[in-house]
Amino acid sequence: MDNRPIGVFDSGLGGLTVVKALSAAMPNEQIVYFGDTGRVPYGNRSRATIEQYARQDEAFLLSQNVKLIIAACGTVSSVAAHTGDHLPVPFFGVVQPAAAAAAKATKNGKIGVIGTAATIASGAYERELLNIDPTYSVISTDCPLFVPLVEEGWISPDDPITQLTARRYLQPVRNAGVDTLILGCTHYPLIAPILQQVMGEHVTLINAGQAAADACQVILEQKQLNTGQTQPGTHQYFVTDRPDSFLKIASLFLQGALNGTVQRVQVEQL
């Protein structure tokens, strides 16, 4: 048994969808969430900058005595997952769990991937999927407007702007006949109903955040790192910009009230 918290980081707020899934699956676990809200987004940064930010984010979570770190950021998971190779605690991102879930779900071997520009340009999901099965056909497209639309709160299934944007972005994967679509950014589950409408009910959507939470549960059990607490776990949230701005949007991602405290920190020197 290990009562240390699980560490989760993201470039902003999208990783809160991972926190939501973790809380549902393991309500007694403590969680420390770090959102680099002062430097968001990572998706249009250079590889060197993303690697630097990832190392600083990891260093901050280690300073909080976490027992495991999840890179909930699709961009870091795709471009800079190697920064976690030599950490003293288990580390993983969202790419491998989501790819494994997609491989399990597909029937026709045609898998779509949507994500930020950096995630798609990295080819990380395609490499992971083709490692599982070289016969897969992987169709990827970047969707840079989805993140600001979500953070503006334009997530209603009836929102005409988000609907129109989704139809435009998803046309290549629809035309390719995919039966499985990986939501390769943790913001995207908030517009999953719109994405499902556009793709059709026959297409399985893979929530990368949920897949990461499922993988975390397996790792904790395998390494005997589960908490021994019997009461609900406490959560701490850290951001690099204004906590009040974070609080305004956090409930959107958590789909409920934020459980825990929010503090502003600086990580540039880590």
* Under 8 Å between Cβ of 111 and 98: no
Q: Identity (one letter) of the amino acid at 198?
A: V
With beta carbons less than 8 A apart as the criterion, state whether 142 and 115 touch. Answer: yes
Would you call 8 helix, strand, or coil by DSSP? strand
pLDDT cut 90: percent of the chain above it: 84
- What's the pLDDT at 142? 95
Strand spans (E) along the chain: 6-10, 31-35, 68-71, 91-93, 110-115, 137-142, 180-183, 204-207, 235-239, 261-264
Structure tokens at 205: 């959507």
pLDDT at 220 over 90: yes
The residue-averaged pLDDT of 67-93 equals 95
Local structure of 170: helix, strand or coil? helix
CATH topology of domain 95-209: Rossmann fold (3.40.50)
* 132-162 confidence digits (pLDDT tens): 999 999 999 999 999 899 988 899 999 999 9
Q: Are 130 and 95 in contact (CB under 8 A)?
A: no
pLDDT of residue 123: 95
In the predicted structure, residue 270 carries a pLDDT above the cut 80: no
**Token reading at 6:** 């699980």
Reported pTM: 0.91
The structural architecture, per CATH, of the domain 6-93+210-264 is 3-Layer(aba) Sandwich (3.40)
Over residues 254-264, the mean pLDDT reads: 89
pLDDT at 23: 94
Lowest mean pLDDT among 102-111, 176-185, 247-256: 247-256
| Cβ contact 150:193 at 8 Å | no
- Read off the pLDDT of each residue in 169-182 and give the average, rounded to a whole number: 98
Please list the residue range(s) of the chain that carry CATH number 3.40.50.1860.
Answer: 6-93+210-264, 95-209
Per-residue pLDDT band at 252 (split at 50, 70, 90): confident
Residue 152 has a pLDDT of 87
Q: What is the mean pLDDT of the chain?
A: 95
* pLDDT computed for residue 190 by the predictor: 93
Provide the 10 A C-beta neighbour count for residue 270.
14
The pair of structure tokens assigned to 86 is 């030599």
The yes-or-no answer on residue 73 being catalytic is yes
Rounded-to-integer distance, Cα 113 and Cα 18, Å? 18
Angle between helices 124-132 and 95-105 (to 10 degrees): 50
User: According to the model, what pLDDT value does residue 44 have?
Assistant: 84
Residue type, position 139, single letter:
I
Phi-psi region of 161 (alpha: psi -120 to 50; beta: other; left: phi over 0): alpha
| 216 in active site | no
What number is the average pLDDT over the span 71-76? 94
The catalytic position among 185, 191, 220, 225 is 185
pLDDT tier at 222 (50, 70, 90 boundaries)?
Answer: very high
Q: Which of 73, 120, 124, 208 is catalytic?
A: 73
Rounded to whole angstroms, what are the CA distances from 25 to 88, 102, 159, 190, 232?
Answer: 25, 20, 31, 19, 12
Tokens of 14: 């999208």
What percent of the chain is helix, strand and coil (3-state, nearest 5)?
45, 15, 35
Give the DSSP letter of residue 6. Answer: E
| pLDDT tens-digit map of 1-36 | 999 999 999 998 999 999 999 999 999 999 999 999
